[in-house]
């Protein structure tokens, strides 16, 4: 009979033998739990730190939270699954890392989907549901990336880094007033301009802006080594390549001819007084317009990057050149051209000339193109 009127006892209706068997099962469960706790205490006492870790899963099962988080989680967590780890040890590892609330829902999901957990690094998130955690094991979360395009200047690269989530002050600290030598590349150049290699880099919460900049410089060093460029000659090649990058389209043949024009202009046979007269270097000082032309006033600057007044190459690169531009700087086409102009910026058509008179005719073709497009800003 129920102990309280109107309520139903779970033991009501059981025979005396049933009640005795039920009592016996309860006693066995209590003994088993007590034995586990005693074993854990002994392990803690004998095994020290390593014993605590080994018994952690047992305490989790007995005393840990029994629920499950909801959703895909919050901030990223990097974990490393050791070789030969069992599903339960991985579950305990994820509980310790704050990824999942407790092991059982995770293990149920692993078993239900018959998932094999591979050893190695894994990107997860804090407070993931068991399903989301197993999803991330089956289809790993890809680390965030940053892509630096070819021909970008430092200011553009810095802006890209900030957009990717890095703090502006940390980016400034990693780049401003630094040179490649600060990152292990022994090249004499005024700044990091041109030495932040254009490529895609993986990001994660453990990587600082300085780490990413270091990777960019390391990649530049690798490319310099691969191209067989001597460090004493690296700044000359990288500077020439940066001019080729911005002054000519991606066509390999055109780029190699443009590289030759620049070398001819600063040679003993120069017809420009050893002045490069590159609008790109002037635009580097003042900022570029869409048509890449410059004004007479801009070309009067005393900046060492003003190649209308300063002879030879500028002090360093004016952007991060591509491998194709570096190849053109290393292997320019043989020829005696001293002038060139992109007569149709839309198609990249470029005309070369050996005399200034011939060049002027080509410039007129370019001016006509500008007028047709309503973009005549003065030209050369």
Distance of CA 287 to the CA centre of its chain: 26
Gap between the terminal Cα atoms of the chain = 107
**304 vs 307: CA distance, rounded Å:** 7
CA count, 13 A, side-chain hemisphere, 28: 6
Note if the pTM is more than 0.75: no
Averaged over successive runs of 10 residues, the pLDDT of the chain (380 residues) comes to 41 51 49 50 48 46 68 87 91 92 91 90 90 91 90 96 93 97 96 97 86 97 96 97 90 95 96 93 81 80 94 97 96 96 86 94 91 58
pLDDT reported for residue 248: 86
pLDDT reported for residue 33: 47
Strand partners, 80: 121
pLDDT reported for residue 284: 92
**274 vs 356: CA distance, rounded Å:** 14
Report the largest interatomic distance among the alpha carbons of the chain, rounded to a whole angstrom: 118
At 332-341, the pLDDT tens digits run 999 999 999 9
pLDDT reported for residue 26: 52
Place of tokens 């004016």: 318
pLDDT reported for residue 233: 97
pLDDT reported for residue 52: 42
pLDDT reported for residue 289: 63
Selection from 306, 305, 84, 289 nearest residue 297 by Cα? 306
**13 vs 227: CA distance, rounded Å:** 89
User: Which long-range contacts does 10-17 make (Cβ < 8 Å, 24+ apart)?
Assistant: none
Burial of 82 (0-12, 13-18, 19+ CB in 10 A): exposed
- Give every CB contact of residue 339 below 8 A, 6+ residues apart in sequence: 261, 352, 353, 354, 355, 356, 358, 359, 362
pLDDT reported for residue 140: 87
Q: Which tokens belong to 112?
A: 């239900």
**307 vs 310: CA distance, rounded Å:** 5
pLDDT reported for residue 158: 97
Q: Which tokens belong to 82?
A: 């050791």
**48 vs 321: CA distance, rounded Å:** 57
pLDDT reported for residue 348: 82
């Amino acid at each position: 009979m129920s102990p309280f009127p109107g309520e139903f006892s779970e033991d009501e209706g059981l025979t005396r033998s049933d009640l005795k068997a039920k009592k016996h099962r309860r006693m066995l469960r209590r003994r088993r739990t007590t034995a586990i706790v005693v074993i854990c205490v002994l392990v803690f006492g004998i095994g020290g730190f390593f014993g605590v870790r080994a018994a952690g899963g047992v305490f989790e099962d007995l005393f840990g939270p029994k629920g499950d988080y909801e959703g895909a989680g919050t901030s990223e967590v990097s974990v490393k699954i050791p070789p030969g780890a069992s599903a339960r040890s991985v579950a305990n590892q994820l509980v310790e890392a704050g990824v999942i609330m407790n092991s059982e829902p995770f293990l149920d999901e692993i078993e239900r989907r018959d998932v094999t957990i591979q050893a190695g690094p894994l990107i997860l998130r804090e407070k993931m549901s068991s399903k989301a955690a197993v999803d991330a094991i089956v289809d790993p979360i890809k680390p965030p990336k940053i892509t630096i395009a070819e021909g970008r200047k430092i200011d553009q690269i810095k802006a890209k880094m900030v957009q990717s989530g890095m703090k502006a002050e940390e980016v400034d600290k990693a780049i401003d007033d630094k040179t490649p030598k600060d990152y292990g590349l022994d090249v004499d150049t005024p700044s990091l301009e041109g030495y932040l290699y254009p490529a895609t880099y993986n990001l994660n919460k453990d990587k600082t802006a300085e780490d990413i900049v270091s990777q960019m410089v390391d990649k530049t060093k690798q490319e310099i080594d691969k191209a067989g460029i001597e460090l004493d000659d690296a700044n000359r090649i990288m500077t020439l390549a940066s001019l080729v990058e911005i002054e000519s389209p991606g066509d390999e043949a055109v780029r190699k001819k443009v590289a030759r024009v620049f070398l001819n202009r600063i040679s003993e046979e120069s017809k420009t007084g050893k002045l490069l007269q590159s609008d790109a270097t002037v635009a580097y000082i003042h900022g570029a317009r869409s048509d890449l032309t410059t004004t007479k006033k801009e070309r009067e600057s005393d900046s060492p990057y003003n190649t209308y007044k300063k002879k030879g190459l500028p002090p360093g690169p004016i952007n991060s050149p591509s491998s194709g531009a570096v190849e053109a700087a290393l292997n320019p086409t043989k020829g005696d051209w001293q002038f060139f102009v992109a007569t149709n910026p839309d198609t990249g058509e470029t005309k070369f000339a050996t005399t200034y008179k011939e060049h002027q005719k080509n410039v007129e073709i370019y001016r006509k193109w500008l007028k047709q497009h309503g973009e005549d800003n003065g030209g050369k």
